[in-house]
Structure formats: structure tokens, C-alpha cells
A and B are shown apart, each in its own frame.
Chain A
Amino acid sequence: MTQPTGTSAADTAAPQATSLYVYGVIPAADAGGWPGAAGVGGPSAQVSTIAAGELAALVSALPPDRTPGLREDLEAHRQVLSLATERGTVVPIRFGMVMDGEDGVRERLLARHGAELTELLRAVDGQVQMTVRGFYAEDALMRAVVEADPEIARRSAEIEGVPELESRAERIALGELVAAAVDTRRERDEQALLDRLRPFATDIRVDPPGSERVALNAHLLVPRDGRAALDEAVRELDTALQGYMALRYIGPLPPYSFSELSLEPEEVA
């Protein structure tokens, strides 16, 4: 049970501890489905599992002198976790985590942090992350702001055709007014969208917009059998918002946004 089910990690680890790239933690009961995937470092880095108690870690041997950080490494990380999500429940570990050898993974990750990881696995069991992002259509936000506030339209018309140097103060004042209106509208739209999505989720995380065009960046934890209802709701929203906002609906994803766990803060070291 504590032996890796794959061959690659075991073989290369034979004489001395090998660096192991760690993707995530799954229930040990699900470990049978692995290996069968190439990990970070190419085809030679087959993903295998290391189990301890009821937990198993998804790992692959990291070739010496190989520092993960290339685009293809990110893609491999994503693919392994995506596959794990297809096969069952996984708690994803952040990109770029490398441990020294199987014993390290078993003792310092699975055994020492068994309680927290088990609790996380239970919280996301049978569920997936669905990410919904809303982007304002080109100019739609500005148009809505102008149309909602005659004062903005009036001031904008006033400086129209006036050289920027001669109307700088007016332009800044107008821009400030617009910025405030944009903030208000964005927050309102975000809340309205969240209200529509909330009934379908067991949990929600909302990330900051990241750019002015982003109205919503929300992550929903959704039961697998509740997907269809959410799909339909998002589709309806998207249709209704056409011309004003475009939705991106991404998933099913591993529960990235619901795996916030920082074990042994780095300050200890």
C-alpha cells in the first residue's frame, strides 16, 4: 500500500532519494487508476501514487537538473489534475512543489498533515469547481455609464473637440466621475450575477476583477450531479446579457479555489 503503483518513481528512486514533483492528494482507495499519464518533465516522468493511510499523493520523478517552470510544465500540471478530477476527487497542490523522495512525501505530507488533507478531501468530495467570468462587451460599459448619467453625457459633450491640453482638468474630472460610475456598476453587476449563481453552488469564491472589462470572476463548488442545472442557468444568463456582457464558463476543474491550505508557513524555516 505504501509502494508506488507506478514504476518510474520507484525505478529512478532506487539508489538515492529522487526529487518528486507533487500534483495533489487523492483518497488512497482511488489510487488504483494510476499511473497512465505523463507528468512534469515529459513522457519519462510517469505519474504514480504514494499512499499512506487513507491518503495518496500524485507524484512524478523530476529529472535531475530539471527546474519546472516552463509553459509545458504548467500544462502537464494542469493535465494531471484534470485527469484526476475525471477519475475522482483530488485536492490540488499549488504549481511548483517538489519534495525529496517517497519517504518525504509519505511522512512530511501525508502522515503529518493527514487530518487537514482528509478534511479538505471530504469538503470537496463528489464536487467540481466551475469558474464563471463575465466580460463587458466592447464599449458596453462606457455606453451604459453615459446613458445612465446625463451629467456624464453633458460634460463629455462639452469637451468634445476641445484640445486635450486645454481641457485637461475637465477631462480628469470627467474621468473621475466615470471611474466612480464604473465601480458602482461593476459591483452591482457582480452581486446580481452572484445572486443568480449562488443557488447552484455549495460554496463560492470571488476573485478580484483583474481588469476593467471583467465584471465577475467567480468560482463555484458544485456537486457533479448539479452541473446540468448550473449549465442551464449560465446559458440563460449569457443569452440575456448578450451585447452587454460575455460569459466564460470553465470547467469541470479541480477545486483549486477551495483548496486553500497553508501547512507550516514558510516563516518557520
Chain B
Amino acid sequence: MAISTQSGPSGGALTEVLELILDRGVVIDAFVRVSLVGIEVLTIDARIVVASVDTYLRFAEAVGRVNLDTRKAGVPELVEGRQTKAAIESAADKYGDLLGGILAQPQSEPAAQEEER
């Protein structure tokens, strides 16, 4: 894991705390807030992910790529809209079981949502 507590200067590299330095901390109007000159503010402005047609097309592309990879990796075919048992198991091996212990499972959510209504 990338832990910057032990290595490097304490406080983390500038790029990692840039947002905090620029956007957080006490603000007082008695101060003259100076303008930023010549620094990369792209990371700041890239904050909001806007759902758009481009995003959707990109997602479709990305999902197609991994879908193809999965099938090339020995998964026979999709049968009536459902992945084969092998495909599901390989997915479970890779992420499902792993996450089961760490992150909540999504499968249980629809039922809970039903109850809330």
C-alpha cells in the first residue's frame, strides 16, 4: 500500500494535499486572498463528474472491454441473458468472496429497499 506516513516528509506530498491547502482551513476577510499563479488547478476543477452521453458511451465501451476479457478467459457463452455458472464463480472468487467479508453485499439491498417503502 502507498503509505506516506513513514516515508517522505510528514504531511504527504504536495499533490496529495493540494486540495486541502486550497480549499480548507480558516478563512478571514481581513486577509487579502491572493490569486494563484502558474499552478495546476486541474485537479481542483475535475471535482464533479457529470453524467452525460459521453460518459455513458465511455462506460459502455469500458464495460464491453472487460466483458470481452472475461469471456475470452474461458467463459463459454451467455445463455439467455445469464452468465454461466463458471463466469459467476470466477467473479465470486476474484471479488465477491473477498469483498463479502470487507464490504457489504449488494444482493441484499433490494429487499431492504422494498421494506422501506
Contacts and interface: CB of A to CB of B under 8 A. Distances in A.
A139 B94 CA distance: 13
A208 B60 contact: no
A172 B60 contact: yes
Contacts of A160: 64, 67-68
B22 A95 contact: yes
Contacts of A193: 103
A99 B30 CA distance: 7
A247 B24 contact: no
Contacts of B43: 210
A122 interface: no
A17 interface: no
Give the bracket for the number of chain B residues in contact with chain A. 35 or more
Contacts of A13: none
Interface string A125-157: 000001100000001101111111011111011
Interface in B53-98: 53, 55-71, 78, 81-83, 87-88, 91, 94-96, 98
B39 A78 contact: no
Contacts of A147: 70, 83, 87-88, 91, 95-96
A69 B35 contact: yes
B57 A172 contact: yes
B26 to A, nearest CB: 5
B20 interface: yes
Given A74-B18, A157-B78, A188 B103 contact: yes
Main secondary structure of the interface of A (DSSP, over half): helix
Contacts of A207: 19
Given A94-B24, A208-B48, A265-B29, A185 B106 contact: yes
Interface string B37-57: 111000100111101010111
B115 interface: no
A151 B96 CA distance: 18
Nearest to B48: A208
B81 A93 contact: no
A174 B60 contact: yes
A12 interface: no
A171 to B, nearest CB: 4
Contacts of B87: 147, 153
Contacts of A144: 91, 95
A234 B35 CA distance: 37
A257 B24 contact: yes
Given A98-B31, A139-B62, 13 more contacts: A82-B10, A94-B25, A146-B66, A156-B60, A171-B60, A174-B60, A179-B56, A188-B106, A209-B49, A210-B49, A250-B16, A256-B17, A262-B27
8 contacts: A69-B35, A69-B37, A94-B22, A142-B63, A142-B65, A147-B96, A254-B11, A259-B25
